[in-house]
Amino acid sequence: MKFKKVLFFCISALLLSFIGHAQNISITGRVTDETGLPVPGTTVTVKGTQTASMTDIDGNYQISAPSNATLVFTFIGYQNLEVAVNGRASLDARITSSSENLEEVVVVGYGTQKKSVVTGAISQVKGKDLEGQPVTRIEQTLQGRTSGVYVAANAGQPGSSATVRVRGITTLNNNDPLYVVDGIWVEQSAVQFINQYDIESVEVLKDASASVYGTRAANGVILITTKKGKAGKLTVSYNGFSGFSEESRRVGVLNATQYATLMNERSVNDGGGIIYADPASLGRGTDWQDVIFQNAFRESHDVNISGGTEASRFYASFSLVDQEGIVLPSISRYQRKTIRLNSDHKLSKYITFGQTATYSHEKNLGIGNTNSEFGGPLSSALNLDPLTPLVITDPAVAGQAPYGGANGQNGIFTNQQGQPYGISSLVTNEMANPLAYEASRQGNYGYADNLIGSAFLEIAPIDGLKLRTTAVGKLAYYGSQTFTPEYYFNNGPPGNNDINSLSRSTNTNFFWSVENTATYTKRFMDSHNVSVLLGQGAYVQEGEKGQTTTYRNLPIDSWQDASFNFDIPDPLDRLGSAYRGADKKTSSLFARLTYDYKERYLLQAFVRRDGSTQFGANNKFGNFPSVSAGWVPSKESFWPENNVVTQLKFRGSWGVSGNDQIGSFLYASIINGGYNYTYGSGSNTTIITGSTITTPPNPDLEWEETTKRNIAAEITLFRDLNLTIDLWKSKTTGILGTLPIPGYVGLSSPTANLGEVENKGIDFELGYRKTFGEVSVGLNGNISMFKNKVNTISPSLDFYTLAGVQSLVGEAQRVQVGHSVGAFYGYHHLGVFQNQAEIDAYVGADGSPIQPNAVPGDFKWKDVNADGQIDTDDREFLGKSLPSYTYGLSFNIEYKGFDLNVLGQGAAGNKIFNALRRLELSDSNFQTNALNRWSGEGTSNTYPRLTSEDPNGNFSRSSNFYLEDGDYFRIKTMQLGYSLPTDIIGKAGLTRARIYVMGENLFTFTKYTGFDPEIGGGNSVGIDRGYYPQARSYMLGVNLQF
Amino acid sequence: MYKSKILWSLAGLAMIAAACGEDFVTVEPKGSFFEENYYANEEQAFSGLVAVYDVLRKNSGGFENMITMLNAGSDDFFAGGGSSSDGNGIHGFDNFTINELTVPRSYFGDFYAGIARANILITKLPETNMDEAKKARFLAEARTLRAFYYFELVNLFGNIPLITAPVATADAYNIEQSTPEEVYAFIESELLASINDLPQTITANIELGRLSQGAAKSILGKAYLYQDKWAEAAAQFADVNGTPGTTSAYGYSLVSDFASLWSINNKFNSESILEVSHTNLSNAGWGNWGGGNDEGNSVNQMVGPRGLNFAAGHTIPTYVSGWSFNPVTLDLRNALLGDPRYEATIFDAPALLAAGELEATPDLPKGYDDADQDTGYFLKKFMPITSETSTGGGNAELNYRQNSYYIRLADTYLMEAEALMHTGNAGRAQQLLTAVRARVGLGAVPVTLEAIYNERRLELAGEGHRFFDLVRTGRTDVLVPYGFVKGKNEILPLPFQDISNTLLEQNPFY
């Protein structure tokens, strides 16, 4: 086919050279790629002639051609582009990469592979696609862009981590994937040091391809590769944006009039009197959400420099991210600065050396409690009554307790006019006036400094053999400084603090590893490609260590004056503590065989043996094998040449991987102190350390093993449409979990190899890219469905309970055999009794009423076991906490200098437990759905009568009353850019100048009534206690390149 | 040359591989011990014993303590607190809606934790290298504490498993319930076997808080009493009590000032038999609350009214505002009215407001912030004054240091008197009753069971005895108006999570 084309060109060129009469003119121009970068080495041919030229290092060319000629631009990996000259002397061209990305390379563990011969399920996100995107943490790059990966933000607090699940929930403990950044193993909680502009690519190993990382691979592996220098002219780029954020939605709560009306009604329902004589006179009252949500500023800057020679190349970058949160920005902010130097050098014909090095500094201001029923500004804003004024403006009130006067409290915060912030006497405990709370946390911050580096030395002594040693290190220093002034938030516990204190904590941890590999690659008889890898590694996470120092009773009141330099006289006011965790070490041996026959039949086998400190002598070592194979029919000789199915590959994999993410010494019977008792009296009073065993030992503790199976088809249709379908299944056995033991054993639950969890699902990925004239269009979509099921827990257990919600009776979630992990569990209401007749008619098998004590307006509870009464046995499963499917869709279009890209993402099939109202503080404000409460026959069948006594358990039972659909779809980002014409910017020495506007979280479609349907939360996902919602941001940015 | 390079590299690989063998992936714990090496000497054995004592603090430490819970279950106190759902367990026990989900697991599990700690210590002590006499004492203390924890459990839950040795994880779900009779038989035999190895009295100040023979005998007497073994009970109490009104052979005598029993400066007084220690020295914070290293008295924090607003120039001490748990019922208030013990027992907010000690404000019309089940009357025995508030680290709420009594002499006087009424020795019973009344300046009343019951209620009000007294004497009629169901609510339901998947059967009607 290709040959035919060439032949055609040659012949026509020959012919045309005789025909051509038009006047030759000199044409100059510049060739760039879709990102505006120059493409040196592009061949420029005058169509139909043998006249050709090539672009220089800046992408510039010069050619002589007839004024009516057509120029053809060709470059490997890019589509041929033909442009008519039409008499122009200057002609810029933009070439786009070929849709048949057969030569694309994918990073796999310990090396790279051509995409065409990959046999594992690996999703890739390219750094190029992230350019200019508002990414603060690496997890965000995966959301919506990769199939089979569920990503949900843990909080909208800038810099917060996300919950990432690769293909379901494989275990009942730590489900976080392993991150490997340039060979460095990093926990999910610590990957924030990466500057997104440094990312060359992110690969997600979803199936047995992850088994390469043995002990740590059960939850999938995310490989991050940073950029390398490019030889040639020095390139300097600047990327930056700035903008602002605002809250995208609020939770509807009652205003003062509504609140007073409902409180009156509740009091009457409970047999009391009217509390508020004239609710209407109270007006709207205080809207606490007005106070906490504020516009927040954000910006991001990156400068990177790349260059060098073929023998020695470097890439360096500097970046800055500064983002305020939308909740009380003065105490919610994230700042990060990074600096990176990557280089690689060819020392001799046989020896190559390379390194990466990064330093990052982060500073973090946090609002404290989020997603907690125990206070924090979000929870306070929803629960505080609307009657309490934000600020006490009446001097008479301000002059008496608690604000002032003889019984005035210490630690009352005031605004700049000296007026005290209002204190609720109705809603107390942890619920504090957000402005007072904000004032009490000024000057507090957390920080982290990371020093991360890797270096490799590669020796290629004979052709095909590579010996490589890689050493990596990651040193982290982090800590916090906190000043807690005297404060009086309210009269409940723990609403006040009489003694100020200043605290500083510093912590260190260090990870290092050494890996040695030998790879031998050989091609036999021009069709058999064989590669063998042997390797060994040692990985050490040194025990975290740190100390905290606290000084109390500082002779000052404000955080600005707080200092450790004060001479605090009483030694009891100078407190200190320190700790050192246990080392975690892994040692590994591994081997891989890769084989293909003409890239038609593909095979890969891998085996790894790991030893871990987390297990006792009985089970220190584990083996993790994997095998994968592929067949590419479209490369068979019998494959008919056609334009419909232009490429077809089938692949399958099987492999075992492990998980050792548990605490140290769980295999042993350990004696711990801290079970103390006090003896003596007066000055002899002494606390003596009591020591005992805490958990029963389990010497047989071993790895949990996840076996993953995957079959897939990769199809390219009409050359431009790529479709990948993966069917997968995984089964985890011997899950490491705490075996809940009954209280009569008297010890805490031991960790044991418990039951078995199964996941299965389908991932679809679709990619389309095509250029129509001057319009180029790209479309990517993915959708993943998965099901999760607990097969067994242990021989003695059918289920165990997960989190409950403060003051709600019974757990909200369970792990139970036959159900998905963390499914919601509780009572099931069947509507509201409208009248006594309905109560009387609701009878059991013996004809007696099931809920004889109910009154109209109470919930009718489902008698699940049909025993004629409602008790704890009448609870059932009420829905899933994990989505059944997640999906993402991105679209981009380019026309002339303009480009638009949109990323949408969503999840569906899960429920959210709305636990935003603090039940036990009975005067907490209600959400607006309470306006739809039952207040007489026919008024409501979904919201019961208001009562604080609540004898029917309408509110105090964990039930489907609190569950809402969690489905959502969100336009995650939208970006519109314009690249200035090169002839204009060229004069300023620029090779590229693009400006863009961008929005993040512009639209969210959901029925959920809380702040945000996207709620992560680790292993107990699905309970919304007041998540910090995702912000909506508007940004303006530029990309410049010199 | 190539060959030597390869060999060199392979040799290097082999060496590193060897270095990464079993030793490389073995680490030793720091700051804790492996069990097989522990309990080796006296210091370690004592530390193991202290962990058994630790559970005694259940009486008055932590939100889920015995005193406020048992008070709420009686007719003398409500649950109270911030709202009707501020503590589902305590409210459920107050109105007897408690069920297997709302019953706090700690009332079950904490005592069993003490039992487990005793079990391992008792198993290990024979091998400990230490003085034999001291070893015998340690063993007696561990066995006595274990017996006492079983006594608490059998009263709270009735039908419980009797576990007397460490449980292997594999057996955790294969344990059966014992009958109350079997548990009591164990308690009796353990105490009888231990008493003689305990010191007759505790003399060294630094040992105050450790068990003496008097304490063990009182527990044994109480165990007999609860089984209606009147003669055996009376015999044990007689040893402890001696001649009413004088100092007994074990050194016990009634203190003269009733109110001083609740002073933080009068710990381990002559009336104290089984006393629970608290201190502010642990600087407990919220993270420690109710755990092994929280040494504070939580009843102190819980029972005071919320938002007390003292008038300027008030004359009574400034009591600390609390969380208004255990408001006093009008039943008890009226029963105590006119009694000399009223002042030390009840904080009478309406009277204090009327006397101008408290001051009303528009926000606080009662001079304090009324909360759930407010009656105006609070349990003063445990209300601290501001000078007793800890100024050390941690949270002041969690660092009150008043000790509490499981058993004090007035209690054993009245228990002996009760037993004697059943054995027909009314004479000594009268002396015992009269001695208790005389201490607070009350004249003698003719001794009857009713009179003794009534004296117990007034003397021991708010100390957590009333509920068990009503149940064991079958006088639960007075609880019925509070929701008590006879034949069911005498014992608590076993916690759902502690019987799920086990051989245990739930208590009747739960």
Residue A433 pLDDT grade (very low, low, confident, very high; cuts 50, 70, 90):
very high
Q: In the structure encoding, which two tokens stand for residue A377, read together?
A: 């500004």
CB-nearest to A872 from B21, B101, B389 is B101
- % of chain A beyond a pLDDT of 70: 96
pLDDT higher than 90, residue A409: no
The pLDDT assigned to B14 comes to 52
Which H or E run includes A150?
strand A149-153
Question: Which residues in chain A are closer than 8 Å to B266, comparing Cβ atoms?
Answer: none
Tell me the nearest-neighbour CA distance from B444 into chain A, angstroms: 35
CB-nearest to A492 from B36, B82, B167 is B82
Dump the DSSP string for A978-1018. Answer: EEPPHHHHGGGT-SEEEEEEEEEEEEEEE---SS-S----T
Contact A518 B205 (CB under 8 A): no
Tell me the nearest-neighbour CA distance from B232 into chain A, angstroms: 30
Contact A689 B47 (CB under 8 A): yes
Residue A20 pLDDT grade (very low, low, confident, very high; cuts 50, 70, 90):
very low
CA distances from A410 to A487, A557, B357 (A): 7, 11, 21
Q: In the structure encoding, which two tokens stand for residue A1015, read together?
A: 């709620």
CB interface of A with B, residues 559-588, below 8 Å? 572-573, 575, 580, 582-583, 585-588
CB interface of A with B, residues 648-667, below 8 Å? 664-665
pLDDT higher than 70, residue B60: yes
CB-nearest to B116 from A685, A747, A796 is A747
| Burial (CB count <10 Å: 0-12, 13-18, 19+), residue B129 | exposed
For residue B162, what is the nearest residue in chain A, using CA coordinates?
A744
CB-nearest to B286 from A494, A589, A688 is A494
Q: What is the dihedral of CA B457, B462, B464, B465, to 10 degrees?
A: -10
pLDDT higher than 90, residue A102: no
Q: How far is Cα A965 from Cα A735, in angstroms, rounded to an integer?
A: 30
Instruction: Give the torsion sign (CA, B406, B407, B411, B416).
Output: positive
pLDDT tens-digit map of A234-273: 999 999 999 999 999 999 999 999 999 999 999 999 988 9
pLDDT tens-digit map of A907-947: 999 999 999 998 888 899 999 999 999 999 999 999 999 99
The pLDDT assigned to A379 comes to 92
Angle at Cα B498 formed by Cα B497 and Cα B500, nearest 5°?
Answer: 60
For residue B96, what is the nearest residue in chain A, using CA coordinates?
A951
Question: Which residues in chain A are closer than 8 Å to B405, comparing Cβ atoms?
Answer: none
CB-nearest to A670 from B35, B117, B499 is B35
Residue A127 pLDDT grade (very low, low, confident, very high; cuts 50, 70, 90):
confident
Question: Which residues in chain A are closer than 8 Å to B289, comparing Cβ atoms?
Answer: none
pLDDT higher than 90, residue A906: yes
- % of chain B beyond a pLDDT of 90: 82
Which residue in A342, A659, A368, A651 sits closest to A487, CA to CA? A368
- Mean pLDDT for A517-538 is 93
Residue A70 pLDDT grade (very low, low, confident, very high; cuts 50, 70, 90):
confident
Question: Which residues in chain A are closer than 8 Å to B20, comparing Cβ atoms?
Answer: 536, 538, 587-588, 611
Question: Which residues in chain B are closer than 8 Å to A491, comparing Cβ atoms?
Answer: 306-307, 321, 369
Q: In the structure encoding, which two tokens stand for residue B13, read together?
A: 């690989």
Best probe of the A interface among B32, B207, B266, by most A CBs < 10 A, is B32
Chain mean pLDDT for chain A? 89
Tell me the nearest-neighbour CA distance from A248 into chain B, angstroms: 34
pLDDT higher than 50, residue A1004: yes
Question: Which residues in chain A are closer than 8 Å to B46, comparing Cβ atoms?
Answer: 688
ipTM above 0.90, yes or no: yes
> Chain B within 8 Å of A772 (Cβ-Cβ)?
no
Question: Which residues in chain A are closer than 8 Å to B119, comparing Cβ atoms?
Answer: 746
The pLDDT assigned to B1 comes to 45
> Chain B within 8 Å of A396 (Cβ-Cβ)?
no
> Chain B within 8 Å of A873 (Cβ-Cβ)?
no
pLDDT higher than 80, residue A103: no
The pLDDT assigned to A751 comes to 85
Residue B3 pLDDT grade (very low, low, confident, very high; cuts 50, 70, 90):
low
Question: Which residues in chain A are closer than 8 Å to B31, comparing Cβ atoms?
Answer: 580
Dump the DSSP string for B426-445. Answer: HHHHHHHHHHHHHHTTPPP-
Which residue in B359, B351, B421, B423 sits closest to B380, CA to CA? B351
pLDDT higher than 80, residue A17: no
Inter-chain Cβ pairs, chain A and chain B, closer than 8 A? 313
> Chain B within 8 Å of A644 (Cβ-Cβ)?
no
- Mean pLDDT for B380-404 is 91
The pLDDT assigned to B395 comes to 85
> Chain B within 8 Å of A498 (Cβ-Cβ)?
yes
CB interface of A with B, residues 1012-1031, below 8 Å? none
pLDDT higher than 80, residue A778: yes
pLDDT higher than 50, residue A15: no
A221-226 and A199-205 strand pairing: antiparallel
Which residue in B75, B69, B67, B59 sits closest to B453, CA to CA? B75
Best probe of the B interface among A744, A749, A754, by most B CBs < 10 A, is A744
The pLDDT assigned to B307 comes to 86
> Chain B within 8 Å of A681 (Cβ-Cβ)?
yes
Residue A19 pLDDT grade (very low, low, confident, very high; cuts 50, 70, 90):
very low
Q: How far is Cα A877 from Cα B121, in angstroms, rounded to an integer?
A: 43
Contact B35 A538 (CB under 8 A): no
CB-nearest to A675 from B51, B105, B392 is B51
Question: Which residues in chain A are closer than 8 Å to B52, comparing Cβ atoms?
Answer: 690, 692
The pLDDT assigned to A1 comes to 41
> Chain B within 8 Å of A470 (Cβ-Cβ)?
no
CB-nearest to A552 from B209, B321, B393 is B393
Contact A696 B396 (CB under 8 A): no
The pLDDT assigned to A22 comes to 53
CB interface of A with B, residues 595-634, below 8 Å? 611-613, 617, 620
- Mean pLDDT for B369-395 is 91
pLDDT tens-digit map of A436-477: 999 999 999 999 999 999 999 999 999 999 999 999 999 999
CB-nearest to B501 from A688, A796, A810 is A796
pLDDT higher than 90, residue A798: no
For residue A406, what is the nearest residue in chain B, using CA coordinates?
B312
Which H or E run includes A440?
helix A434-440
Per-state percent for chain B, helix, strand, coil, to nearest 5: 50, 5, 45
The pLDDT assigned to A7 comes to 40
Best probe of the B interface among A519, A541, A692, A814, by most B CBs < 10 A, is A692
Tell me the nearest-neighbour CA distance from B58 into chain A, angstroms: 12
Tell me the nearest-neighbour CA distance from A654 into chain B, angstroms: 27
Q: In the structure encoding, which two tokens stand for residue B249, read together?
A: 């052979």
pLDDT higher than 90, residue A801: no
pLDDT tens-digit map of A534-582: 999 999 999 999 999 999 999 999 999 999 999 999 888 898 999 999 9
- Could you tell me where the beta strands, DSSP code E, fall in B248-383? 272-276, 346-348, 377-379
Contact B33 A691 (CB under 8 A): yes
The pLDDT assigned to B24 comes to 86
Best probe of the A interface among B55, B84, B391, by most A CBs < 10 A, is B84
pLDDT tens-digit map of A174-199: 889 999 999 899 888 788 899 989 99
- Mean pLDDT for B103-110 is 96
The pLDDT assigned to A919 comes to 86
Tell me the nearest-neighbour CA distance from A613 into chain B, angstroms: 5
The pLDDT assigned to A804 comes to 79
Residue A493 pLDDT grade (very low, low, confident, very high; cuts 50, 70, 90):
low
CB-nearest to B175 from A665, A744, A871 is A744
pLDDT tens-digit map of A648-678: 999 999 999 998 888 888 888 889 999 999 9
Question: Which residues in chain B are closer than 8 Å to A513, comparing Cβ atoms?
Answer: none
Least confident of A193-202, A538-547, A952-961, B388-397: B388-397
Question: Which residues in chain B are closer than 8 Å to A572, comparing Cβ atoms?
Answer: 392-393
Contact A752 B267 (CB under 8 A): no
Which residue in A650, A520, A649 sits closest to A593, CA to CA? A520
The pLDDT assigned to A179 comes to 93
Residue A755 pLDDT grade (very low, low, confident, very high; cuts 50, 70, 90):
confident
pLDDT tens-digit map of B454-507: 999 999 999 999 999 999 999 999 999 999 999 999 999 999 989 988 999 999
